[in-house]
Amino acid sequence: MTRGIENLNEDAGGKEIHFVVWVHGLWGNPGHLEYFVEQLDEKHGDQIHILNAKCNTSEYTYDGVDICGERLTEEIMGEYKVLKDRNYKVTKFSIIGYSLGGLVSRYAIGALYDDGFFKEVEPLLFTTFATPHLGIRREDDTTYNKVFNWISSHLLSKTGEQLQLIDKYEDGKPLIHVLADPGKVFYKALSIFKYRKLYANTYNDRTVPFWTAAIVDVNPFDKMDKLNITIDKNWPSIIESIQLKEESSTVDTMTLAKNVPRYIIAGVAAPIVVPIWLTFALSTLTVQSAISRRRVQQIINTRTREGKHVARVSEASPFSIVASDIEEGSIEAAMNIKSLFPSGPTSPITESAGETLGKPTGDFSNMIESCNCQPLLLLQAQKDALKHLNNLKWEKHSVYIDTLNAHGAIVVRNKRFYSTGKDVVRHFVDKVFVT
C-alpha cells in the first residue's frame, strides 16, 4: 500500500489494509510531517495506507481543538469511504498526532467512537509527539510564565483558551478536563487502542514542556546541569536513564565556553527579534479576530441546521482574539528565545552499554521517581486529567535533542534545520510502530 488516494487501485479485490493518519500541530500544515511520513511509507508502505491530514492547515488550527477534531473526523471518514468504494478492507486504524495534533487526534477518535467507526475497524496504535496533554498553562509565578500564559491565551483564539484551560467546554469544565473524563467518548476511545505511546522533549521545548507532553506532574529535566544522562546507543536522542549528579563545586568550563555563543546571540537577537515579532503579531489581531469568531459561529450554525454533533462543539469566547497569517515558527521563536540562555552546564551524556532493539527504552516510572522532584503547580483540572490519563497504560519515551528548538526537531519539521531529530523518527519507524 502507500499514501494518497491517487495511488489507490480502482478495485483492490478486498485487500486488507492498516489505515494510518498523521495530524500536524498549531500553525502547521502537512509539510511539517512530510519527512516522517516518507520514512514510514518507505519502511511499511506495502502494509499501510497513510493520510497526512490537511483539513486544519495554518490559521484553521486557531478555531479550537473541538472544531479541528470535527474537521479531522470528516476527513478521515471521507478517506475511509474512498477506501471502501475501491474495495479495500480497512482492518486496523492508527493515528499519530504532533503537538496540538495529538489533542485534535484525541478529540477525533472520540467522535469516531461516537459514530461507531471502531465497531468496524480495530483501533491499534495511538501516538503523540510533543503534545500538550495537560494544556500549557503554567502556574509558577515567574515573569516568563505570565507572559507565556498571556500570549497563548490572547493570541491563539479559541485554541489558546482551551490550551490555557480558561474555556468552559461542557458543564463549566475546560476541554482538557473533558477529553480525559473516563465517562466521555474521548477517553473511552483512547482506552480501546491496543497501544498508546508518546514522545516528550526534555530540553529546549518551551512550546510544549516535558511535563505536559509526558503526562507527569514533575520535570526532572528542569535543571539539566544536575543530571547524568544515559542515551540509547541505537537512537542517541532517546534517553535510557538519568541519575542525579553527586554534589560538586567544580564547574564544567568546557561546557560554559561552548555556551558563550548562545549568550552572545541572545544578547544581540532578543532586543531586535522580540519587538519586531510583537509588532507583526499584534498588527493582525483585529481583522483575524473577527474572521476566527465568524468562522467558528458559521460552523456551529451549519451543524445546527444539519443536526451534526453540535453538542460536541463549543462556541468561541466573544472576546477571543487570534494572530493569524503569522509566518511559520515566529511565535515559537519568541517563546524559545529563553532557550538561548542555558540554565547551566549541560549534562554529561553517555551511551547505554546494552542492546535495546525490540525492548522498551528505559524504565520511565523509575526514571521520574529517581529525580526526587517537587510536584509542579497545576490546576485541579490538570491534576484530574493527569490521573485519568495515567490510569491507562502508556509507553513513554523521553527525548533529548540539543538544539535551540527541539519542538520542531522532534519530527524533523524542516529537513534543513532539524536534522538532529532524525534518529527519533527512525526510533518510531523501526521500533515503535506496529502493523
For 294-310, the DSSP string reads HHHHHHHHHHHHHT-SG
Three-state SS string across 101-125, please? HHHHHHHHHHHHHHCCHHHCCEEEE
358 near 431, Cβ under 8 Å? yes
Copy the grid coordinates of residue 376. 509542579
Q: What is the pLDDT of residue 296?
A: 74
Q: What is the pLDDT of residue 355?
A: 41
Q: Which of 99, 237, 289, 347 is catalytic?
A: 99
Cβ–Cβ contacts within 10 Å for residue 28, how many?
23
Mark whether 94 is an active-site residue: no
Label the pairing between strands 239-244 and 227-231. Answer: antiparallel
Pairwise CA distance, residues 37 & 161, whole Å: 30
Helix (H, G, I), strand (E, B) or coil at 242: strand
Q: What is the pLDDT of residue 285?
A: 44
Q: What is the pLDDT of residue 292?
A: 66
Query: 341: closest CA among 270, 258, 263?
Result: 263
> H/E element holding 316?
none
**Which segments of the chain have a pLDDT < 50?**
1, 249, 254, 256, 285-286, 311, 318-328, 343-345, 354-361
The residues pairing with 146 across neighbouring beta strands, listed in sequence order, are: none
Pairwise CA distance, residues 272 & 405, whole Å: 19
> H/E element holding 341?
none
Query: 99: closest CA among 140, 138, 56, 155?
Result: 56
Q: What is the pLDDT of residue 91?
A: 98
